[in-house]
Structure 1
């Protein structure tokens, strides 16, 4: 493995090269949020809360668009997942339930109860009806769940070495009780499931026929804690217990991956069935790069891709630290994000923009964005920005009188040409934009009432706000249980100079931007002029 490069690179200062977040722009507050997920376009953000509710934020306005709440579900939400076109949301809760919601109407479509608590649940990406999902329960093998009928099918979590002969059928171990969870995910088309088990193997499964089609062992056999595909489906990321994040390149086609595996199965000849699966797996997934902190050897709580796999981000699992590492795809460490003294439990990268959202143990969602600087030369091509005053020398013909006919030339415009304002051009960022015309991208935001300035500040303190089903005492108990004290008098991001957001109500935000140095100097000059001059009595 290549050694990580130094922390600072010359190209990182170029905004065209370093397209990644740098500072905390603001934070979102609504009860105690546990997990987050963007829709496919990044216009809506879903957050699962500790009290069993799911709140949807309009990410453009930072306002609450809808709240999904089931009266029968009061347990903490463990995961949220959007359907491909954004019309449905799948929510898994700690009370072993899976709930499918209609986002537009806010109505519950299906509710299914499993035998064990699902830590993660993902909807089938290729299904338009959102009837199939992949659930990963605790101390159990992943399940394919039919939300309409409630039927479940257990997937093989590992491959047994019994029966090496080709005539003996392959035996698969259905349950995996050696790890808290067995992570799994669909590929981009949804015809295959990629599973990471406690033996350090990536298992490629045909979930329709419940068959193992490929096996990719990881060096060292470390337990796989998380597995996720990039948005374009070309790269696969795994987070293992050996403190290494690995990225694999997917060699299978985006569509008809099963047919490609069938062709490999016919061409590969091995002595045993297990060796044959490993040969197919080596042709399906190729190790691209490994990422780790070679200095502190920290564990990773969460990890994901940025954009279409250009960046890889890992959130540290250390208690009392909110730190994230960002690498480029070549393996260079380009940025370390330092947040407040709160543990990190989940993170998500915006599908389009260089924005990262991180969830702290106290239930706040921090928004990390680029640190943009004012560039006045962008307003005009001939505008020059000066660091200090310079003597200006006028040109010889600068103030010559120019006839109006030469100064302004009429532009030829066809007045009869029709302008098309209805046709929407396809977004080049998404490969399947042409089939997403019925996608749900926006919801009407819920307006929040203004808070009178004379009202007591403690009544609208965001840290004291809790909904009707979750009291303030339970908020403090939850924070103390996780090893964090709740301070009701100060802002949760107090002491961080790059966080300028200020919350004034339970779910509404008002952003406050830091004034520039020129504005501060101007205000100081005004205060100096306003000071009354002390008059002295004249001598007689």
Structure 2
């Protein structure tokens, strides 16, 4: 999918079913693509600055967007109208809808603490990562107060990542701190990602390392590019067995795939170097990766399918070049055995007809003296005669015609002398 470079992309996200892909643009537009037809389904126009994040509701009917214009908007996708708008005191780095409750969302503003926003009432609740507001003001002067907030997949916990490399896990309802994980001093946390079984999560930090943790806080693997030591733009779980990460290098288009179990590098997907990756998304139901670039291109990566022709028949072989083949006359003739037996049985049951011996019929011999025809007057025309007239006119009845048949010859026998 390509927009010819006219539409610069900043972020992307699939809905829960994976049939729609929401793409945020540098000009503030949000384009919703029909992933099956590769056509534009909706165009949402509301932001005046670049869109920083897009987040779908669980039903797929609502879409949350945030941008550098300090605005948070919730859209009704079917009607293309926004249902809620909230303006903050600074530009928004990241926002996310609650996975199951459409009334709440998380907002992570620039140089400020994260907030929980009640969409129905408009009330915002601060998630103070530092002990007091005074500490925030002191650190704001040193530009080290950025904090990113994510819901886990079930929505019962909130993960906060600080500019100093500290992860705090809060209860969503009580906002009570459940645990703290320290990565390292000065390692700014950029994003989180959670597995489907919620047993592990990924942490992308500014020290060029992607860390895989168990949900209890135990470190499993550290994923790095050992050769180039590049920063990572984003990371995700790819199904149940793999982890994908996109390089943020401005001179390459690379997607790294690691094994989730061993942490070993499995494969590197390389695209055109002129297309720098801005964001990637993993399809929720199919083995597909989507990478978005700054020039407006969307690359769809999928597993290459190879046909195994030997499975069709034992004699099938794959040819490198075309070869001339001469087909035998009866090579591909299909003969039905049942039809053949049926025809043979019909031939046996047919009666034998003699067409060579002539049949002798009875001969008819005409008389030697032909009898002349007499004119017969119908009785209905002749008037009735009196007895005297009948005596005078003696009408004789014609004798009936007779046919003579030739007598069959008889065998003569000689008398024994």
Are 1:145 and 2:117 matched, yes or no?
yes
Q: Hey, what's the Cα distance between the residues in 1 that align with 2:324 and 2:167?
A: 65
Match of 1:238 in 2: 203
Q: Hey, what's the Cα distance between the residues in 2 that align with 1:181 and 1:306?
A: 28
Match of 2:282 in 1: 349
TM-score by length of 2: 0.72
1:43–1:59 CA contact under 8 A, matched in 2:
yes
Q: Hey, what's the Cα distance between the residues in 1 that align with 2:305 and 2:125?
A: 50
Are 1:80 and 2:54 matched, yes or no?
yes
Structure with greater helix share of residues? 1
Are 1:291 and 2:223 matched, yes or no?
yes
Structure 2 SS opposite 1:404: helix
The equivalent position to 1:369 in structure 2, one of 293, 302, 317, is: 302
Match of 2:38 in 1: 62
1:155–1:174 CA contact under 8 A, matched in 2:
no
Structure number with higher relative contact order (C-alpha < 8 Å, ≥ 6 residues apart): 1
1:124–1:134 CA contact under 8 A, matched in 2:
yes
Matching of residues 377-526 of structure 1 within 5 Å? 377=310, 380=312, 384-387=316-319, 403-404=337-338
Q: Which has the larger radius of gyration?
A: 2
Are 1:31 and 2:3 matched, yes or no?
no
Structure 2 SS opposite 1:74: coil
Q: Hey, what's the Cα distance between the residues in 1 that align with 2:13 and 2:145?
A: 22
Match of 2:77 in 1: 103
Q: Hey, what's the Cα distance between the residues in 1 that align with 2:205 and 2:288?
A: 25
Q: Kindly tell me: are residues 207 and 399 of structure 1, through their superposed partners in 2, closer, same or farther at Cα, counting changes over 3 Å?
A: closer
1:159–1:173 CA contact under 8 A, matched in 2:
yes
Q: Which consecutive unaligned segments of at least 5 residues does structure 1 have?
A: 1-25, 161-170, 251-283, 408-540
Are 1:135 and 2:69 matched, yes or no?
no
Following TM superposition, by how much is the alpha carbon of 1:285 offset from its aligned partner in structure 2, in angstroms?
2.4
Match of 1:206 in 2: 171
2:106–2:114 CA contact under 8 A, matched in 1:
yes
Following TM superposition, by how much is the alpha carbon of 1:374 offset from its aligned partner in structure 2, in angstroms?
4.5
TM-score by length of 1: 0.56
Superposition CA RMSD, Å = 3.1
Q: Hey, what's the Cα distance between the residues in 1 that align with 2:295 and 2:332?
A: 63
Q: Kindly tell me: are residues 180 and 352 of structure 1, through their superposed partners in 2, closer, same or farther at Cα, counting changes over 3 Å?
A: farther
2:164–2:185 CA contact under 8 A, matched in 1:
no
Structure 1 SS opposite 2:128: coil
Structure with greater strand share of residues? 2
Structure 2 SS opposite 1:243: coil
Q: Hey, what's the Cα distance between the residues in 2 that align with 1:27 and 1:64?
A: 11
Q: Hey, what's the Cα distance between the residues in 2 that align with 1:124 and 1:98?
A: 14
Q: Hey, what's the Cα distance between the residues in 2 that align with 1:400 and 1:64?
A: 50
Q: Hey, what's the Cα distance between the residues in 1 that align with 2:28 and 2:325?
A: 66
